[in-house]
Amino acid sequence: MEVKMLKIENLETFYGKIQALKGISLEVPDASIVTILGANGAGKSTTLKTISGLLRPTRGTIKFNERRIDGLLPEEIVKLGISQVPEGRGVFPEMTTKENLLLGAFVRRDNEEIKKDLDRVFSHFPVLKDRHNQNAGKLSGGEQQMLAIGRALMSKPKLILLDEPSLGLSPILVEEIFKIISEINKEGTTILLIEQNANIAISISQYGYILETGKISLSGVAQYLMNNEEVKRSYLGI
């Protein structure tokens, strides 16, 4: 039986009087990569922000490893094992690369394990090791994206929420970032991915959801979505 790490049921979230999520339900199996596709304004980022506690749902439930987390504070959710890589990276420009990474471990007290995880991040992203004393604001866009993912890894998450990791990057860097995302998943970290580049997102995912104006319009295994005529036309440019 497939274990569901994350289970969302009938989730509704508002921005003021505007309803952004209209009763969505989705599941993320343990050790998988699941992608959410959709146009701008469909509710993709709202979904991740609601999971991580940055937004409060007005209705519905979010369960993480069978425990309800809707209503918890963001720092409590991080402690349980969920870390988010925000759209636009969100690095602290005046802090060094290493300081940004260590900030990702702020909820932890296991100093020896933190050192090991820092080495793990540097093994995934050698350029960050080369630039560990450089201010994050001086890094290139690709390096900042690597830093944002590395910082999320420093919290030792069971689940990473990735919001548009390819945004603003060259095709070669996109390929590199997604190769590393696959490696992180193979090491045992579950990933919920939002990505405009539907082709590459589906290619590394096991399952996907299509979100349209706050509702799930279609879902299925990656191969099904890849072959679906509507998905091909709207998202894959085929």
The CATH number of residue 48's host domain is: 3.40.50.300
Q: Can you read off the two tokens belonging to residue 109?
A: 């007290």
What phi and psi values does residue 193 have, to the nearest 5 degrees?
A: -120, 130
Number of domains in the chain: 1
Residue 125 lies in a domain: no
Give the range of the structural domain holding residue 53, as residue numbers without chain letter: 1-80+191-238
- Per DSSP, the three-state class of 205 is coil
Amino acid 116: pLDDT: 94
Amino acid 66: pLDDT: 95
For the entire predicted model, the pTM comes to 0.92
Placement of tokens 């963001």 in the chain: 74
Return d(Cα 58, Cα 71) in angstroms, integer: 10
Placement of tokens 């820092």 in the chain: 118
Residue 4 lies in a domain: yes
**CA proximity to 85, closest of 7, 155, 9:** 155
Return d(Cα 36, Cα 26) in angstroms, integer: 10
Residue 220 lies in a domain: yes
Residue 6 lies in a domain: yes
Residues of the chain with pLDDT under 50: none
Amino acid 238: pLDDT: 64
- Provide the residue type at 123 as one letter: S
- Per DSSP, the three-state class of 119 is helix
- Per DSSP, the three-state class of 137 is helix
User: Can you state the angle between helices 141-153 and 171-186, rounded to 10 degrees?
Assistant: 10
Amino acid 86: pLDDT: 86
Amino acid 36: pLDDT: 96
Amino acid 200: pLDDT: 93
Q: How would you label 69-81 residue by residue, b for 16+ Cβ within 10 Å and e otherwise?
A: bbebeeeebbeeb
